Amino acid sequence: MVLDSLRLDGPPRRVAIITGGSRGLGRAMAGALAEAGADVVLASRTLSQLETAAAQIAVETGREPLIVPTNVQKSAECDALVARTLEHFGRLDIMVNNAGIGDRRGAGEKIWDLDDADWQDTIEVNLYSTFYCSRAAARALREQGDGGVILNVASGTALRSSANSFGYAAAKAGVISLTKSLSGMLIGEGIRVNCIIPGYVAQHPPHSQEEFERVQQRGQFNTVRRLGEAWELGPLAVFLCSDASSYVTGESFVIDGGGLAGGIAPTGYTMAFAEGSGNV
Amino acid sequence: MYEWQPRPGFDLTGKRALVVGFSNPSGRAIALALAEAGADVAAASATLDGDEVMEAKRASKAVAGLGRQTFSQGWDVTLPTNVTVGLKQLGKEFGQPNVLVFNADYPFARPIEKTGDADFARVQQINLNGAYYSARAFLRDFPAGETGRIIFVNTIFAERGVENLTAYAAAKAGVIGLSAALSQELGARHITSNCIATGWMDWTAGRGPDEIGENRLMRFIPMRRFGKAEELGALAVLLASDAAGYLNGQVFHIDGGITTHL
């Protein structure tokens, strides 16, 4: 039955790691996966934020997430994240590679001003991290021997010109490419690899009237006249991490309100031809 | 200060869905998935072919078996008036649907120089004109302010070429264009439009034997098998739900990895 296929409570109960899982989109997806029955492992750099997120999820679901402070730019820390997960929960089923930073050093700069270190940092935090965690997860899933899911998070900026964050966009384009190649490599192991490509999505509810108005205003430029809200990624993540998507791999799911389906005319631009052209 | 109001992704309680097209197993599978998730589901055949009309009836009966409201109709989606009248009647008997799933499918494979005018026209009429007429009729009586969902069940043949599929590919590619333009036209109205692109399914005509050893097409699919109708249900449920308002204008592939395959 379709609703059963969307559950993650097993048996066996699925174990999901979410990098960047303490805030924003990662936190939203972690909450949704936990609600669908998974045991979740939250990884990010800041312990206090991990503790807060874990406490909330524990209250919401009655199950305690594991928290593992991790810098996903470090290969060894990604390996340790998976090892700690196996030690604590005894298995791994789902790796959500969500960690990434858009407005990192160098964002907004022109290419002639950008130094090597800024470029490397951007590529490392957004692309290397996905490689490190995917490799660590693939090793564990392969050894475990009953398949699994890798879910990457890219960005709509990877698919269009993104002059103000071209390093980020390039790294995320790399994530999309990695998704496709790894899907082919890992399908023989029963591991599905997919990607979510978010457009403009607010990371948290507005904290002030000023922020509320800013978000409202930015939303007017989007097809659906609003920005996405982080929770909207939750159901999509559950679908892609569960058996409900059993015939889906190598695929990137855009969630952007329709921006990428349009974007060749200003939002709300209405085509109207002169009378007599046969197309009024 | 401000709170979001998340809505459940897989609960369609209170939704009224219309599934059009029962010539292949995905119509029934999606109708039942929507019903299982709580929607009332009406079923309309896309042609007056006796088998398809009966299949729509049987799907409707199965929906009733799940305790949901339902209604079944025989449509000919190539006739715009028929579609309009069908939806008017549906509005009276069942209620105005707020989810439209267009699943009409008329596969056709022939070399282009051997494709007659009538063949070509028939392929366009069912696959593309039918999609247009159905979406238009669905929207004409759509209550202002209400949340709506349009889902076109489409195919990878719309985006990738296979020999002998010229007429079919053109029609199905037309559906993608229709959906993309609709997504922009409806964006400000809480109505989304998306396509689900199916890959090689276990009913796809011309797929060859079902044993992998004898089928080089199947060996070419990364998942080494054909897709099943039941594997389309969950995405249809997600796209139909109130949580899916930010999924818009896209083509989502359920294809065993074939379109990413080199």
3-state SS, residue A12: coil
Residues with Cβ within 8 Å of B201's Cβ and at least 6 positions away in sequence, in order, are B24, B26, B207, B226, B227, B228, B229
Residues with Cβ within 8 Å of B39's Cβ and at least 6 positions away in sequence, in order, are B12, B13, B15, B16, B17, B68, B99, B240
DSSP letters spanning A191-208: EEEEEEEE-SEESS--SS
Q: How many angstroms separate the CA atoms of A152 and A195, rounded? A: 4
Per-residue pLDDT, A136? 98
Q: What are phi and psi of A216, to 5 degrees?
A: -60, -45
Query: What's the token pair of residue B125?
Result: 């009429």
Residue A104 placed within a domain: yes
Per-residue pLDDT, A107? 79
| For B226, nearest residue in chain A (alpha carbons) | A247
Residues with Cβ within 8 Å of A144's Cβ and at least 6 positions away in sequence, in order, are A91, A92
| Closest C-alpha among B146, B150, B157, B255 to residue B199 | B255
Question: How do residues B213-258 score in pLDDT, each as one tens digit?
Answer: 999 999 999 999 999 999 999 999 999 999 999 999 999 999 999 9
Q: How many angstroms separate the CA atoms of A225 and A33, rounded? A: 28
Nearest to A205 among B2, B36, B246 (CB): B2
| Closest C-alpha among A185, A194, A200, A181 to residue A152 | A194
Q: What is the CATH number of the domain that holds A73?
A: 3.40.50.720
Per-residue pLDDT, B10? 96
> Which residues 210-249 of chain A have a CB within 8 Å of chain B?
212, 222-225, 228-232, 234-236, 238-239, 242, 244-249
Q: How many angstroms separate the CA atoms of B18 and A120, rounded? A: 51
Instruction: Check B37 against A180: CB less than 8 A apart.
Output: no
Per-residue pLDDT, A275? 66
Full domain range(s) for residue A162: 2-208+228-255
Higher per-residue pLDDT: A90 or A268: A90
Query: What's the token pair of residue B113?
Result: 């120089």
Q: What percent of chain A has pLDDT over 90?
A: 90
Question: How do residues A186-241 score in pLDDT, each as one tens digit?
Answer: 999 999 999 999 999 999 999 999 999 999 999 999 999 999 999 999 999 999 99
Question: How do residues B124-146 score in pLDDT, each as one tens digit?
Answer: 999 999 999 999 999 999 999 99
Least confident of A111-115, A128-132, B165-169, B198-202: A111-115
Residues with Cβ within 8 Å of B235's Cβ and at least 6 positions away in sequence, in order, are A239, A244, A245, B196, B252, B254
Instruction: Check A247 against B10: CB less than 8 A apart.
Output: no
**Domain count for chain A:** 1
pLDDT of A52 above 50: yes
Strand A228-229 versus strand A201-202 pairing type: parallel
Per-residue pLDDT, A277? 64
> Which residues 106-125 of chain B have a CB within 8 Å of chain A?
none
Return the residue in A149, A248, A255, A279 with the most chain B beta carbons within 10 A, the one to mutate for interface testing. Answer: A248
What topology is assigned to B16-257 in CATH? Rossmann fold (3.40.50)
Instruction: Check A208 against B246: CB less than 8 A apart.
Output: no
pLDDT of B1 above 80: no
Q: How many angstroms separate the CA atoms of B131 and B175, rounded? A: 7
Question: Does A206 contact chain B (CB < 8 Å)?
Answer: yes
Q: Which residues in chain B are contacts of A255 at CB distance < 8 A?
A: 246-247
| For B29, nearest residue in chain A (alpha carbons) | A2
Per-residue pLDDT, A279? 53
Residue A262 placed within a domain: no
Does this model's pTM top 0.90? My answer is: yes
Return the residue in A29, A207, A247, A267 with the most chain B beta carbons within 10 A, the one to mutate for interface testing. Answer: A247
Query: What's the token pair of residue B36?
Result: 């299982």
> Which residues 175-194 of chain A have a CB within 8 Å of chain B?
179-180, 183-184, 187
- The count of residues in chain A is 280
- Which whole number is the average pLDDT over B161-177? 97
Residue B31 near residue B237 (C-beta atoms within 8 A): no
Return the residue in B30, B101, B184, B241 with the most chain A beta carbons within 10 A, the one to mutate for interface testing. Answer: B184
> Which residues 232-261 of chain B have a CB within 8 Å of chain A?
233-235, 237-238, 241, 243-250, 252-257, 259-261
ipTM for the predicted complex comes to 0.95
Question: How do residues B17-41 score in pLDDT, each as one tens digit?
Answer: 999 999 999 999 999 999 999 999 9
- H or E stretch at A31: helix A24-35
Q: What are phi and psi of B100, to 5 degrees?
A: -115, 125
DSSP letters spanning chain B: --------TT--TT-EEEEE--SSHHHHHHHHHHHHTT-EEEEEESS--HHHHHHHHHHHHHHHHTT--EEEEE--TT-HHHHHHHHHHHHHHT---SEEEE---------GGG--HHHHHHHHIIIIIHHHHHHHHHHHTPPTT--EEEEEEEEGGGTS--TT-HHHHHHHHHHHHHHHHHHHHSGGGTEEEEEEEE-SBTT-TT---SSGGG-HHHHHSTTSS-B-GGGGHHHHHHHHSGGGTT--S-EEEESTTGGG--
| Closest C-alpha among A250, A126, A240 to residue A181 | A250
Residue A213 placed within a domain: no
pLDDT of A280 above 50: no
The mean pLDDT of chain A is: 95
Beta bridge partners of A39: A15
Closest-CA distance, A79 to chain B, in angstroms, reads 28
Report the C-alpha dihedral over residues B69, B61, B44, B68, rounded to 10 degrees: 20
**Dihedral sign computed on CA atoms, order A27, A28, A29, A35:** positive
Beta bridge partners of A250: none
Residue A223 placed within a domain: no
Per-residue pLDDT, A135? 98
Per-residue pLDDT, A276? 63
Question: How do residues A114-123 score in pLDDT, each as one tens digit?
Answer: 999 999 999 9
- Which whole number is the average pLDDT over B78-99? 98
